[in-house]
Structure 1
Amino acid sequence: MAAPKPYIKVLEQFMSFIDGITYTIDKDDDGNPIIPFTQARLLEITDQDIASYLNNKAFGTATPTVNDYPIYCRSDTLFYHKKALSMFMPRQYMTWDDVTKIGNPTKSRAANKVIEVVKKHEVQGTGKPSNARRAVEWDEFKNVLAATREFYSSRHREEVMILLLTILTIQWQFIGRIDDMMRLATSTVLFNSDHPFTLYIKMCWSKNIRTERDSPTQILFASMDPAIIATSAIGRRSFSSSSSSSVEVAKSSGGGGAGFFSRVSSFLVGAGLTALVTEFYIFKEVREGNVELLRRHKEIEGRIAALEKKK
């Protein structure tokens, strides 16, 4: 099996390090790399060569002291280099024997010890900081929504703007993946008759879902913030989609102006009506809840007063 190109680059760096010569791996006429190292040369590689190379990658020196810290790369990078070099070892599947010095030197205790030391530094906070992806923050998410509105509205591409805002707001509410949003079927968006100010949505295409029971129906709540209200975005998207067909009909009949007016009016009606109905049900639910709380408070106060009279 041919080695991946990144693995060949690692071998080139490793051999240049231990030999003190800058190697360049050329390619043949078919574009395949020409490995200039013979099997006999690869058999001469020892566990200390691997350990020195890994130390140099992490600490910047082949023989680090207690005053050196692995600030140049993390343990995951060292493991990747170790795995890449292992593919070129003649005794790839043999564990390294410290006595006979035979086997795969990347599977030696010396190489593994370097990685363990770097991991320890990472835990203690003295290693290289992680560049892993982090979760988006609230202010960053709001900036994305604002940039989406400004970019597409200035170019008169309202349909694309509405589509992206719908995807982003629903993804934020459900903490979903972007591919989940792309495969979200409109048939899974249902009206909740028990709580009319909410919607039922079911994610069916997540990569981590293996059985149907792992994808239950979820409840989508509205928000009083018009910038992130997902229910309003769904309403705007639905009205916009229906108005698009009206625009096409108007264009085919020569009524471009009427089609544009229908599109804009449908957008405004959809956005306003959805937001208005949502806010009405939220206000109604909150008001009824407050009335119920006041009633219970008065009932409790009456019981306390009755108990005090008995005393």
Structure 2
Amino acid sequence: MADDEEPTMMEDEGGEDMWDMPMKEEYHAHIRGLMGLAHGCIYRGKEMKFTKAQLLQLKPKHVYNYLCLKAYGKINPTDNDKPTGRASSLEYYKKAISFFLPNSHPWVEMPGTPAHGNPTRSKLVNNLVAKVRLAETRGEGKDTQATRPLEMIEYKAILSTFRATPGPMLQMKVKNPLMALYQWHLITRIDDVCNFKVSDPRPHPKWSFCLRQRVSWSKNVRDERQCPDQLLMASMNPAFCIFIALAHWLEIHLASYPNAIMLFSPKHPPPGRKEHKIFINTIIKKYRTHLGKVFGDRAFETLYDGDDDRPIGTHSCRKSASTYAKRCGRTEGQVDHRGRWKPAASKTSSVVSGVYIDPKEEATDAEVASDLCIGGPIKYKLKPAMVRHITLQWIREHVIPHISFRFTATRHDRLVYNLGLAFLCACMDTDHFGLPLPAITVSAVQAAYDAIPMDDKPEQPVDRVPIVCYRVRDQLHIDEVVAVDNVESGAPAVPAVIGAPGNNEMQALLIQVQDLKQEVQNLRTVVDAHERNGRSYLEGQFHRVNNNLRRFGGTIQGGLARHHPQAQQERLAAEEEAPEAGEQVYMPTLTPNLRTLQEMWREWQFGIGGRKAAKDWTPRERGNPAGRIKQTYYRRKCVWLILQRLINKGHNISGAISVMKDTYGQSTSVTDMQKAIVRDRRVYEDNGGLHPNFR
């Protein structure tokens, strides 16, 4: 078939092919090249699709020939041929071709069954990639195109060169250093940085002196679980302090474009995916151009004295940050978490535990973030004398008014306060930390500070307090570093005990201290609980005793006097003593014609009309035959005892009366109730002679 001829795609002989080939523009050239090599023709057109039957006809030999052509420049290389392509490139070609193939499982060849599977996942193809990688290891392959990490001296030179750009080039002086610092602190690509929005930096809900931000455009991010909030902390070295750089650029950016959406562009991003990519590539291209000028400077080239011959580029900034964190003692897993790299050996997101384990490792993220704060992490803190004078409102009006105009909500107060303190600290420094701050802005801030009505104002109202991040079990702690005066140098220093033990010993000490604190707290909780329970128990017992005394004697004092054992014996003896001759004996009487149970209870407990309480009558008085008192007392006592029994069970007098009325009827007279109680004694003789409601 001629090279210029475009063959027609044929359907399966068995009928219409309902399978639709997926499309991805950046991969399409490789599937066209492979199919063209297999069919002996050239396929053109980025929208061309192949049928499922055509793709299923691909064999490992076809993929092998295509990769040989890419790696060696010919289909059948000999052992003496040296590869001109990299193994990493072959891996990319495999991935691109596999994207379009119907089968995803490895290639299988078994006797008696047709070979099937994904030809890119065959032993023949994998051996070719391994062969090319072995040649690279032995120095016989193509030189790597990967960039090397920047050294610290080079990174500092990039920032200083950007900031020292002559003229009013704010993009070079302010924006580019912030982009480089974002790459450093978040270990991210320049592509991710260019996608940042003005609204991305947010205050941290727990650590008020920190910020948080998500890198949602990172290459390995496929869902929100893979881009949790990451910590941003200020640095002791002002050149690397992202708080100062962010406040500086935002104040300039929002002054000119108060409604800007993108952090590093005044334009609004287009809605389409392709248009958005072109839009971001424009920002990237400008930054790479400026960075390339720095890399090409003769003075910059002389800074590196190592033996790594690899080139440098924008990706070198990310490699520099990850390498620096690794040299500070962090593990690869910790650095990978900060840089949002997906583990190579395991696919955490594909296993069940990966769905349930919280991807947010705040302690790991904070520890790596603190290492990337050159000079150590700090927090900006007002000096005690200035707390009453420099308020959030003062910062909004005089330090960063344009940022404050954009972030007016209460939830943004901590963001404005942190950026304002950082920018105020830079403005009030003698040489502004060597940063290219606008003279007009600095003069306005200093004038507002001078106008504060206060004597003996400090020249610098903001302290940079060192902080330390450490983990105790699963909890992150960020505390101020306690400094002691160094007698020899006069400078504050961390006590020697903090840095003396190794990481494991320090971790053990911290765990023990935390355990002791927790144990003390638990003991305090237990003691407080016992105290509350004891107090509640005693109050209940006293309440019960007082209630019993009131039931017996009407008052606590009367009950104690009347029911004292010795007093009872003396009273009974006096009552049983026979009257002397000629002595007039007083006999108590009962109130006639009682109509209600309340009256009967009052007669029993207290007496009515000055009469003696019925419960205090002696046997002689109860047996008085005059006026049928004996019979009346007997019948009324049936009601009295029932009421007393109900009260002893916990009812008050109103409740006891309600129980009796519910049992014998609401309209039943007192006389009929007395008869019913006497009748119940015979009916319920086997159960103590009591109605079930009274038991």
TM-score, normalised by the number of residues in structure 1 = 0.56
Partner Cα separation in structure 1 for residue 242 and residue 97 of structure 2 = 50
- Select which of 69, 79, 83 maps to 1:70: 83
Corresponding position of 1:82: 94
Corresponding residue SS for 1:53: helix
The residue aligned with 1:245 is 401
Q: What is the 5 A alignment of 1:23-172?
A: 23-26=42-45, 32-35=47-50, 39=53, 42-74=55-87, 76-89=88-101, 93=105, 95-97=107-109, 99=111, 102-104=115-117, 105-132=119-146, 134-151=148-165, 154-155=167-168, 157=170, 161-162=173-174, 165=177, 168=180, 172=184
Distance 1:235 1:288 in 2: 37
Aligned mates of 1:187, 1:85 — CA distance in 2: 44
* CA deviation profile, 1:30-87 (whole Å, cap 9, x unmatched): xx4244x783x5454332222222222112232223322323232x332332333345
- Where structure 1 has 5 or more consecutive residues not aligned to the other structure, the ranges are 192-199, 250-259, 279-283, 293-311
Please give the alpha-carbon distance, in whole angstroms, between the structure 2 residues aligned to 1:83 and 1:169.
33
**Contact preservation (8 Å) 1:54, 1:78:** yes
Structure whose residues are more often helix by fraction: 1
Deviation of residue 241 (structure 1)? 8.7
Q: Which string of whole-angstrom CA distances, capped at 9 and with x for unpartnered residues, describes residues 216-266 of structure 1?
A: 796x5524xx755668768978989944639x99xxxxxxxxxx9752414
Paired with 1:244 and 1:288, the residues of 2 have a C-alpha distance of 39
Residue identity opposite 1:60 in structure 2: G
C-alpha distance in structure 1 between counterparts of 2:26 and 2:125, whole Å: 20
Q: Is the 8 A contact 1:243 1:262 kept in 2?
A: no
Deviation at 1:215, TM superposition (A): 6.4
Preserved CA contact (<8 Å) 2:91 2:129: yes
Give me the whole-angstrom Cα distance separating, in 1, the residues matched to 2:205 and 2:396.
19
Pair 33,155 (structure 1): closer, same or farther in 2 beyond 3 Å: same
Aligned residue identity for 2:64: A
Contact 2:86 2:144 in 1 (8 A): no
Q: Percent identity?
A: 20
Say if 1:126 and 1:217 are closer, same or farther in 2 by CA, change over 3 A.
same
> Is the Cα contact below 8 Å between 1:86 and 1:106 reproduced in 2?
yes
Q: How many angstroms does 1:203 deviate by?
A: 4.2
Kept in 2, the 8 Å contact 1:96–1:103? The answer is yes
Contact 2:71 2:83 in 1 (8 A): yes
Q: Distance in 2 between matches of 1:242 and 1:117?
A: 66
- Displacement of 1:169 after TM fit? 5.2
Secondary structure at the aligned position of 2:210 is classed as strand
| Displacement of 1:10 | 0.9
Number of equivalent positions: 254
Tell me if structure 1 keeps the 8 A contact 2:86–2:133. Answer: no
Contact 1:56 1:62 in 2 (8 A): yes
Is 2:36 the counterpart of 1:16? yes
Q: How far apart in 1 are the matches of 2:28 and 2:215?
A: 36
CA contact (8 A) 2:60 2:120 kept: yes
Mapping 1:225-264, distance limit 5 Å: 227-228=239-240, 242-243=398-399, 245=401, 263-264=441-442
Letter paired with 1:84:
A
Structure of greater Rg: 2
Report the more deviating stretch, 120-129 or 45-54: 120-129
Q: TM-score, normalised to structure 2's length?
A: 0.29
Distance 1:240 1:150, change over 3 A: farther
The residue number in structure 2 matching 1:201 is 210
Paired with 1:162 and 1:57, the residues of 2 have a C-alpha distance of 43
- Letter of the 2:168 partner, please give it: R
Q: Could you say what secondary structure the match of 2:125 adopts?
A: helix
Q: CA-atom RMSD, angstroms?
A: 5.2
Tell me if structure 2 keeps the 8 A contact 1:71–1:128.
yes
Change (3 A) 1:131 1:183: farther
> For residues 13 and 164 of structure 1, do their structure 2 counterparts lie closer, same or farther at Cα, with a shift above 3 Å needed?
closer
Aligned equivalent of 1:4, options 12, 24, 40: 24
**Partner amino acid for 1:131?**
Q
| CA shift in 2, pair 1:176/1:56, >3 Å | closer
User: Which secondary structure state, in structure 2, belongs to the residue aligned with residue 154 of structure 1?
Assistant: coil
CA contact under 8 A between 1:50 and 1:106: conserved in structure 2?
A: yes
Structure 2 CA distance for partners of 1:78 and 1:14, relative to 1, 3 Å:
same
